Chains A and B, each alone.
Chain A
Amino acid sequence: MKMLLASWSKLRHVGLAAPLVIALGCGSNVDDGTDRPDTGVMGDSGTNETASDVGGDDMPPDGAVPLENVCDVIASAACSSNTTTCCTASGFTFDEKTCRSRQKQYCDEQVAVVKAGKATYDATKIPGCVAAWKDTFSKCKVSLTDELRAGGACALVFRGTITRGSPCTSDGECKAPEGGLAACGSSKLCEVLFYGEAKADEPCRTNGYQCAAGLQCTGDNVCKPATPIGGACPSAMDQSCGFGNFCNALKCAAGLPAGSACGNYLECASWQCVSSKCSDPTPPFANKFRCGV
């Protein structure tokens, strides 16, 4: 707690105003500054945690993070003790200073978009984003679905205003669906990477992994239980088998593991066929960039 307050004190000295935007719990779960692994709100348990649990050292006690300081908070979360552990486990040397610098730079670009009027800023979503970072690094090996969901949590902090298919210059300008993720594609048009997680009987888009595990997005855009392994399916490109599975010879089968030869992405457990080989369905989230190498 002392550490937290000290860090916050530092932030206050760089000009923090203190509008009470987020009400954070101050119970026994307050970050004690130790290096214990964090568990985030995006964890498998699906339990929500207090904001102070996920706030990190740079979260102010009152939860109010002005735009000028949000990148410090996010950089701290993206370069936490969980990051160190994950980087080390993945064979990377962790450099906190570089890690923070890179994350802050990316975040600063989004802040600039907000200041340019092409995105909005919602400080109340910071705890969710902070938790997403810590939880993702805590898992360390992360599925595409998990990464996109984590990204969806952070996309709520900065929300672009440019809709899908419209011209853009940076990711921050693109408008993501609630809980989803958008990006400025290589064609410099906004594209939606993820439409947000949907539970059974909730609406979904075409994105196969939008529906929660074990569900499929049906033709009428509703999440329904996926066809089980061995069940009948209509065609190779059908997605009724659910994310990670595919329709093989008109029967649902488990997707192929990493490194398997693939003709289309649906054959892979990762639903990613890169250079005719299946990508790892749970690749290490740590990489040189994120570890500050």
Chain B
Amino acid sequence: MRSLLRPISAAVVVTFGLAVACSTSDPSPTGAPIPKGEIACDIRITDNSVTQTWTIEDRGAVAKATVENTGSAATYNIEVKLDGVVAFQSDVTMSKLGGVSNTSRYLTPFATKETVVDVQAQGGSWTVKVDGRRLAIDTEAAKKAPPATIAFDDGTSVGPIVPKAIETRINDAVNKLMGAEKDARESCVNGTAPDLSQKGEPGRPSSPHKSAECNSCRNFCGTKFIACTAGTIFGCWAGCFGLAAVPIVGAALVVTCNVLCNLVLQPRCATDYSDCLENCRNQFCCPVSCGPSATQCCAAGESCLNSATGLCCRVGLTPCRGKTCFDNAAENCMPDGSACPKEKTCGSNCCKSPGGGFGTEENCVSPVHHLCCRVGLIACVAPNVVGPGAAVCCPPGGCLPDGTCINPNP
């Protein structure tokens, strides 16, 4: 038995290596051109999840995959039918922290009887059950030589449970689906990739998380994640399918190989997705955080005026004491949080700019006294007194020596 498994072990390791590379290479074991099937995809993206369903049909073979990502967990369901008969089903849930739960059903096209394989993996440990019977698998050993560890806890081989060899017809059909799947993934990916060289547009509204750019970016991440997930699944399939030809335990080896392959590759998809979303957030969705809420953000180039209100200053303006935004080149930030044109700044006061009507403008007639006067009035200053309140505005010629105005209406 040991001598029988040795070459199988080598085959699995080699195949596993191929599976890793499958995301960038032709997944077809034969390398022959694969006819494209009919592809349909449906992507739905909400605030909290991305769901994509795609279907591939090719001469009676139908593969349907539904993938959903909620940010903290991803689930996917794959179903393969041949001639209208379900041949394989797999439900996988992956958490962002690396936990994997995979329940796969290998149906009669694969096995003489339905076989359910349940895999639970968390961190470095994982368990595999076939029809409820636990396989005795040592994680580290399995990674190095999985087939050598394939046996139930009672020592019996899994081979007799799935004795049927996978038919060539099925093998060919699935291979075609795998080839078509790559096209399906590419055709379904849309949205705007985060561009780290571009920091946004000036004047954009201060709800960047609702912007078209943010949605497009998240859309891109979602579909890329789905593409990665689906590519991994089918890449693993492609890499592991050759094991089906191994006598007796072939189907079990396919299962084991798949589990290991996905275990390694799927977290990478999740990590890439998380990184992609983070880039979207930094670039489009929340370039400048402005408050405790995740949606309290300012657009690129804007600055957070007040994190309590979530208000932002548009590009080019600077926050002034959390109350107003001011143009640093032309205005001053006043002690009360208002902005004042530099030419109108008069100590701690801001003289009025021209408004509607006539005579509405004020001039700074005495900066040391912080005194603004309407046009036509002059500063009347009390002798030897400085600071606010020591001067008043009077008509020309109407200033008394003590710093008060002559009463023009005696």
Question: What is the interface of chain A, defined by CB distance below 8 A to chain B?
Answer: 78, 102-107, 110, 132, 136, 144, 147-148, 150-151, 154, 164, 171, 181, 183, 185-187, 191-195, 205-209, 217, 237, 239, 265-266, 271-275, 279, 287, 289-290
Contact = CB atoms under 8 A, between A and B. Distances in A.
Given A207-B408, A275-B364, 18 more contacts: A102-B356, A105-B356, A106-B356, A147-B359, A148-B375, A151-B359, A171-B360, A181-B358, A181-B376, A183-B360, A192-B408, A193-B395, A194-B359, A205-B409, A208-B397, A237-B397, A289-B355, A289-B356
B359 A239 contact: no
B393 A164 contact: no
Nearest to B359: A151
B353 interface: yes
A280 to B, nearest CB: 12
A274 B364 contact: yes
Nearest to A243: B396
Task: Summarize B's interface: helix, strand, loop or mixed.
Answer: loop
Contacts of B358: 132, 136, 147-148, 150-151, 154, 181
B357 A279 contact: no
Interface residues of B, number: 31
B378 A205 contact: no
B406 A206 contact: yes
Interface in B349-383: 349, 352-360, 362-365, 367, 372-378
A208 B378 CA distance: 11
B393 A185 contact: yes
A78 B374 contact: no
B363 A171 contact: no
Given A181-B359, A193-B374, A272-B363, A186 B349 contact: yes
Contacts of A181: 358-359, 376
A104 B357 CA distance: 10
Contacts of B242: none
A194 B376 contact: yes
A100 B230 CA distance: 61
Given A106-B357, A181-B358, A209 B363 contact: no
Interface of B: 349, 352-360, 362-365, 367, 372-378, 392-393, 395-398, 406, 408-409
B376 A154 contact: no
29 contacts: A105-B356, A106-B360, A110-B357, A136-B358, A147-B359, A151-B357, A151-B358, A154-B357, A171-B360, A181-B358, A183-B359, A185-B373, A186-B349, A186-B373, A191-B377, A195-B408, A205-B408, A206-B406, A207-B397, A239-B396, A265-B365, A266-B396, A271-B378, A272-B375, A273-B365, A274-B364, A274-B365, A275-B367, A289-B354
B396 A265 contact: yes
B397 A217 contact: yes
A185 B363 CA distance: 12
Contacts of B396: 206-209, 239, 265-266, 271
A193 B356 contact: no
A275 to B, nearest CB: 7
Contacts of A193: 359, 374-377, 395
A78 B356 contact: yes
Contacts of A171: 357, 360
B301 to A, nearest CB: 23
Given A147-B359, A148-B376, A193-B374, A207 B364 contact: no
A290 B355 CA distance: 7
A290 B354 contact: yes
B356 A103 contact: yes
Contacts of B356: 78, 102-107, 289
Contacts of A151: 357-359
Most chain B beta-carbon contacts within 10 A, residue among A132, A181, A279: A181
A205 B409 CA distance: 8
A102 B352 CA distance: 15
B397 A206 contact: yes
A192 B398 CA distance: 11
B408 A191 contact: no
Contacts of B362: 186
B79 to A, nearest CB: 61
